[in-house]
Amino acid sequence: MTDLVHPATAVAVSPASRNPALALLRAVARHRLASVGLVIIATLIIIAVFAPVLAPYSPFQQDLYHVLAPPSRLHLLGTDNLGRDLLSRLLYGARVSLLVGIVSSLVSAVIGVVIGLIAGFRGGMVDAIIMRITDAFLCFPPLIFILAMSAALGPGLQNVILAFALFGWTYFARLARGQVLLVRELPFIEAARSVGVPATRIMFRHILPNIVAPVLVAITIGIGGAILVESGVSFLGLGVQPPTASWGKELRVGFTYLEAAPLFSIAPGVMISLAIIAFNFVGDGLRDALDPRLRGANRVSR
């Protein structure tokens, strides 16, 4: 990720700093909400990686004598309808959500940026055709498409990610194209063209680094969106299959027992919300750090 930031943000972030990636990180850390978000994300990643160490019980271990138990010293968040420790299941659930969120957003970004680069750089008919198709895809809210695809392909994580790859790219394509149109006319591109640099190389070596900043913001916010869609798909009963622990699935089962064991549905939702909020906080901070116009406005007001 650090290399990605490099060329585009060198000027935008802090002209005085030697290492732009570090400067960007510093700018984000100064941003109040973004630093809160970073801490939450770091915690979630640690939870996902070290779930087996952190979890007090196996997420699959059933105790049918203690189903829907209220919180106690033995089970900090109580147990679910099969007597499994809720806390342990939530810790393991972080794996599914983070994995789907990050992979889906990255895959969508790669596909979308390539399409947007081609449309913006080629222009003319190619651009018109690609963008009308993108507009058509944009008419379908992604969640509806992903649900339909997951149902058609059958449940399972890889199918959710595949559905994302098919329908998540449109936003990135539009974003990348808009950025390319801004960069394309700059003198250094003309210079590269005039000395005979091939088009593909101009696209990926000269233009791409200069549109990375807004794409990075979109990827961060996209991870939050993908976590939302994944948990939603799991909530409706597609997505990961039991007995794998997933926040959306716990939430759905817990909803059935809302009166008897409110934590059973509320706690997984807290995890989902925290994860989405954290990525949106960081995305927002990145946007502020990368947008020179906004920083200027800040300075004036102070």
Q: Residues 224, 240, 246, 249: which binds another protein (CB under 8 A)?
A: 224
Applying CB under 8 A, which part among 22-30, 106-114, 188-196, 260-268 lies near another protein? 260-268
In contact, 234 and 247? CB cutoff 8 Å: yes
Q: Computed from CA positions of residues 86, 92, 97, 98, in that sequence, does the dihedral angle turn out positive or negative?
A: positive
Phi, psi (degrees; rounded to nearest 5) at 140: -100, 120
Applying CB under 8 A, which part among 68-76, 95-103, 110-118, 257-265 lies near another protein? 257-265
Q: Computed from CA positions of residues 80, 85, 91, 92, in that sequence, does the dihedral angle turn out positive or negative?
A: negative
**Residues 276-295: x/- map of binding to another protein (CB under 8 A)?**
xx--xx--x-----------
- Alpha helices for 50-205 (secondary structure H): 51-54, 86-122, 124-138, 142-153, 157-167, 169-184, 187-194, 199-201
Binding of residue 172 to another protein (CB under 8 A): no
Min. distance of Cβ 125 from another protein in angstroms? 13
CA distance 38 to 28: 9
Binding of residue 300 to another protein (CB under 8 A): yes
Q: Residues 251, 286, 289, 290: which binds another protein (CB under 8 A)?
A: 251
How many residues of this chain bind another protein (CB under 8 A)?
44
Binding of residue 242 to another protein (CB under 8 A): no
**Residues 3-42: x/- map of binding to another protein (CB under 8 A)?**
-----------------------------xx---------
Instruction: Compute how many other C-beta atoms are within 10 angstroms of the C-beta atom of residue 302.
Output: 4
Binding of residue 124 to another protein (CB under 8 A): no
Binding of residue 259 to another protein (CB under 8 A): yes
CA distance 143 to 256: 24
Binding of residue 136 to another protein (CB under 8 A): yes
CA distance 232 to 182: 36
Binding of residue 165 to another protein (CB under 8 A): no
**Residues 40-79: x/- map of binding to another protein (CB under 8 A)?**
----------------------------------------
Q: Residues 56, 198, 243, 262: which binds another protein (CB under 8 A)?
A: 262
CA distance 207 to 66: 60
Nearest to 112 by CA among 218, 205, 207: 218
Instruction: Compute how many other C-beta atoms are within 10 angstroms of the C-beta atom of residue 181.
Output: 15
Phi, psi (degrees; rounded to nearest 5) at 161: -65, -40
Chain contacts with another protein (rule: CB under 8 A) = 32-33, 132-133, 135-144, 147-148, 151-152, 224, 228, 231-232, 235-237, 251, 255, 258-259, 262, 265-266, 268-269, 272-273, 276-277, 280-281, 284, 297, 300-301
